[in-house]
Chain A
Amino acid sequence: MTKGSQYSHRLDLENGRVEMAHGSGGKAMAQLIDELFLQAFSNPWLDKMNDQACFSLPAGRVVMATDSHVISPLFFPGGDIGSLSVHGTVNDVAMSGAVPKYLSAGFILEEGFALSSLKQLVESMAHAAEAAGVAIVTGDTKVVERGKGDGCFITTTGVGVVPEGLNISGDQVAVGDKILVSGTLGDHGVAIMSLREGLSFETTIESDSQSLQDLVAAMVEVVPDISCMRDPTRGGLAATLNEIAQSAGVGMQIYEAQIPVKPQVSAACEFLGLDPLYVANEGKLIAFCPADQAEQLLAVMREHPKGRDAAIIGDVTEDSLKFVQMETTFGGKRMVDWINGEQLPRIC
């Protein structure tokens, strides 16, 4: 604690609650930063307590990504909004092949939010950052009146550096490329859905929320010719493939039988009337690479604990209409279209 002595009482992290004063710029805010954020995130840049972090980056192209997190509930099987806010941005940076280095974190807290919950979230962020090899070097805290937030919103921004020789981008995807996924789809979305009000069902499914920078590092080392990587978060695999098909001006052909989905996730989707291809993931990636290197890439992914269930799921095709099509396990063909709004459950 850098300035512990200047406060008459320690912050009550057990029973205390977020008050408007914690975002006012006064002493209460300074104490929150000192006794909570600095404690958890401590690093040479943050500890300087400037309004900004000043750092140097190794030579190379710099990558930057930002992501806001508003998930409900804040705590879910397999993670919480704290770790998710680190994983989300780390993964966005890593999908360029970059090594993520630094994060900023902006908190919007609702008046009345339990400090014990905030402490849990902040510590979870710190663990996630440490595991991903990134430092949270600057941040901001605002408090909104009770009823005007949902407990805690977190926005993180990350920077990283791309190793030389990589050019990984949606527009690099070419006809003939193979499409790979790093593991089972739909785990995160179904884990969250299982806690929704009016829907709660018992399941052992946990969110797949995890950072992928180490898997990416292993992949680009062996196959630097990867054309594109993307983490299929909101909108799931379907949205991500359609986005890339649009930006690269290609079509895609995938094979349902090759797409890894846990039986519990299929079952939950089945009774909720959802399609796992449209359900969110927070710890999986989709990769495109030239066909002749696909097997090699698959082998590297499968050797890594975060890519154990990796699979080649399809091919990039020539198609002026940029359609994503799927051969069903049943033997027929269908389109895999964009999601429209929220996936709504069917009536019967």
Chain B
Amino acid sequence: MKYVDEYRDGQLAREIAGRIRNEADPERNYHLMEFCGGHTHAIFRYGIPDLLPGNVKMIHGPGCPVCVLPISRLDAAIELAVTHKVILCSYGDMMRVPGSRKRSLLKARAEGADVRMVYSCTDALKIARDNPDREVVFFAIGFETTTPPTALVIRQARKLGLTNFSVFCNHVLTPAAISNILESPEVRELGVLPLDGFIGPAHVSTVIGSQPYEYFAEEYQKPVVIAGFEPLDVLQAILMLIRQLNEGRAEVENEFSRAVTEVGNEQAKQIVADTFELRRSFEWRGLGTVPYSALRIKAEYAGFDAEKRFAVKYKSAGENKACECGAILRGVKSPRDCSLFGGPCTPENPLGSCMVSSEGACAAYYSYGRHQESVFASDAENGAVTDVVPDATNIAKERSL
């Protein structure tokens, strides 16, 4: 497939992997966080850990929109469909996430709620136009990539004079989450989470540009490489981070120069700024309450804001106490550290959000990687990893578990 196969070339991958092996200093470890779930998915799907030397560790970040949405907001969405009897339009990934009492949108649908899976928010708008006598709510989630389309449909709905369409807005912001991780006690004080550099998501930067990351590079002295989602992009980004670390640099570099610019997409940013405003704080699953980390619909579009229209109330909802999604989303723990992983919690019967989305670390780890011995930072003693490439003894050990 043109424009895809080029970025999955096995020969090139071996060459880059060879360079990584040559250039990675055997005297130290490299702890690199891929922020985005899309990268986590690519890393597992293409078996990238097999190509990395033992001292290069990937830590999975919280960039999975399904995973970080708190239960209370999912419960609210289910309530909209069940109690307010709206047609609730949701992206597919969200449908299976368990809320309180293991209720999910799919289960609500089975019980009679009108929940529809859409591929695009414009589909939700069409459903609203086709059903003028029903309230239609688009369950908007996602990072900066999915925000401009949501802004556009809100504006489109106003232009069309639709009175039965609204958006339940849960859009969140990448830089705020990275700040939160870098400010967390695990990184700053306790040293539990060694973090040497970040792979930034390219699709987010096609909108916001590379500029917002300059702050992390400067303030926290952490190099950032913005990378695409093909496996070669990821490998190349790892090599670029290793080079920066070896040279003592902490800069923002752009691996995805084929689409990302420094300033991003000005038009998209403007539409978002015109439609949304910052929330003072927002709850993230795993990260807790993060200041200025999410968007809400501006007052002038209040008629399209489902939270206002239906006076949505949030009831705090507890997570399963044994579930480690929180620590996993912060990169502090690995899926294997969770006592529920692979036992009570599997992709068929997910207890935590990281097991639901294919971008969640637990699901990726379970579906693609559970044949392997540890290849991820917190699987083994941090900083004391010597050889993590699976060998026969390691596999035997894992299989006796």
Measuring CB to CB, which residues of chain A are less than 8 angstroms from any residue of chain B? 198-199, 257, 263, 266-267, 270, 273, 320-321, 323, 325, 327-335, 337-338, 340-341, 344-348
Partner of B14, one of A257, A331, A341: A331
A-B contact pairs, 15 of them (CB 8 A): A323-B371, A328-B10, A330-B8, A330-B48, A332-B46, A332-B49, A334-B46, A335-B367, A337-B347, A341-B96, A345-B119, A346-B38, A346-B93, A346-B359, A347-B357
What 0/1 readout, one digit per residue, does chain B (1-34) give for beta carbons within 8 Å of chain A? Answer: 1001000101001100100000000000000000
Please measure, in the bound complex, the distance between the C-alpha atom of A327 and the C-alpha atom of B368, giving whole angstroms. 11
Contact (Cβ within 8 A) B45 A334: yes
Q: Is B91 an interface residue (CB 8 A)?
A: yes
Question: With contacts A344-B92, A347-B91 known, is A266 near B50, CB below 8 A?
Answer: no
Which single residue of chain B is at the shortest CB-CB distance from A266?
A: B1
Q: Is B203 an interface residue (CB 8 A)?
A: yes
CB distance from B141 to the nearest CB of A (A): 7
A120-B390 Cα distance, complex, nearest whole Å: 57
Per-residue CB proximity of B56-98 to A under 8 Å, as 1/0? 0000000001100000000000000000000000011111100
Report chain A residues within 8 Å CB of B359.
Answer: 346-347
Given contacts A320-B399, A330-B46, A332-B46, contact A344 B96 (CB under 8 A): yes
B16 to chain A, nearest CB (A): 11
Q: Is the CB of B348 within 8 A of A340?
A: yes
- Residue with the greatest number of chain A CB neighbours at <10 A, chosen from B47, B50, B51, B359: B47
Determine how close the nearest CB of chain A comes to the CB of B17; give it in whole angstroms.
8
Q: A347-B142, A348-B203 are in contact. Are A330 and B367 (CB under 8 A)?
A: no
Q: Which of B51, B118, B142 contacts A332 (CB 8 A)?
A: B51
Residues of chain B lying within 8 A (CB to CB) of residue A338:
348
Q: Enumerate chain B residues within 8 angstroms of A333, measured Cβ to Cβ.
A: 47, 50, 371-372
Residues of B within 8 A of A199 (CB): 119
Q: Is the interface of B mostly helix, strand, loop or mixed?
A: helix
Provide the bound-state CA to CA distance between A347 and B370, in Å.
24
Say if the beta carbon of B284 comes within 8 Å of chain A: no
| Interface check B366, CB cutoff 8 A | yes
Contacts of A266 in B (CB 8 A): 1, 4
Cβ-defined contact, B50 with A347, below 8 A: no
* Residues of B bordering A, CB below 8 Å: 1, 4, 8, 10, 13-14, 17, 38, 41, 44-51, 65-66, 91-96, 116-119, 123, 141-143, 145-146, 203, 231, 346-348, 357-359, 366-372, 399
Give complex CA distance A35, B146 in Å.
56
* Option from A327, A330, A347 in Cβ contact (under 8 Å) with B146: A347
In the docked arrangement, what's the CA distance between A337 and B362, Å?
14
| 3 nearest A-B pairs in the assembled complex, by CB-CB distance | A332-B47, A344-B92, A340-B347
CB of B371 within 8 A of CB of A325, answer: yes
Once the chains bind, are B142 and A335 in contact (CB under 8 Å)?
no
13 further A-B contacts with Cβ under 8 Å, apart from A325-B371, A335-B369, A345-B93, are A257-B10, A263-B1, A321-B371, A321-B399, A323-B371, A330-B48, A331-B51, A333-B47, A334-B45, A335-B368, A340-B346, A344-B92, A347-B66
From A251, which residue of chain B is reached at the shortest CB distance? B371
In the complex, are the beta carbons of A348 and B50 less than 8 A apart? Answer: no
Which chain A residue has the least Cβ–Cβ distance from B47? A332
CA of A267 to CA of B1, assembled, Å = 7
State A340–B357 Cα separation when bound (angstroms): 11
Q: Which of A263, A321, A331, A344 is within 8 Å of B13, CB to CB?
A: A331
Cβ-closest chain B residue relative to A345: B92
The distance in angstroms between the C-alpha atoms of A198 and B358, with both chains bound, is 22
Tell me which of B10, B93, B367 contacts A347 (CB under 8 A). B93
How far does the Cβ of A266 sit from chain B's closest Cβ, in whole Å? 5
Specify which chain A residues have a CB less than 8 angstroms from the CB of B369 in the assembled complex: 334-335
Interface hub of B17, B41, B357, B368 (most chain A Cβ within 10 A): B368
Smallest CB gap from A264: residue in B: B1
- Quote the shortest CB–CB distance from A329 to chain B (angstroms): 5
A348 lies within 8 A of B51 (CB): no
Q: Which residues of A contact B347 (CB under 8 A)?
A: 337, 340
Q: Is the CB of B367 within 8 A of A337?
A: yes
In the complex, the chain A residue whose C-beta lies closest to that of B365 is A335
> What's the Cα separation between A273 and B117 when bound, in Å?
14
**Other-chain residue from A320, A325, A329 in contact with B8 (beta carbon distance below 8 A):** A329
The CA of A247 and the CA of B126, in the complex, are separated in Å by 47
Complex CA gap A140/B38 in Å reads 50
Let me know if B10 and A329 touch, CB within 8 A.
yes
The interface residues of chain A lying within 8 Å CB-to-CB of B50 are 331-333
Which of A263, A273, A320, A331 contacts B10 (CB under 8 A)? A331
CA distance A314 to B10 in the complex (A): 18
A325-B371, A344-B92, A345-B91 known; A334 vs B65 contact (CB < 8 Å): no
Cα distance A188–B148 in the bound complex, in angstroms: 34
Set of chain A residues within 8 Å of B14, measured between Cβ atoms: 331
A270 to B230, CA, bound (A): 11
- Name the A residues within 8 Å of B41 (CB-CB): 346
CA of A327 to CA of B65, assembled, Å: 29
- Whether A346 contacts B44 by the Cβ 8 Å rule is no
Contacts of A257 in B (CB 8 A): 10
B351 CB to nearest A CB, Å? 14
- The smallest C-beta distance from A344 to any residue of chain B, in angstroms, reads 4
B45 close to A328 (CB less than 8 A)? yes
Q: How far is the CA of A347 from the CA of B372 in the complex (A)?
A: 27
Contacts of B17 in A (CB 8 A): 331
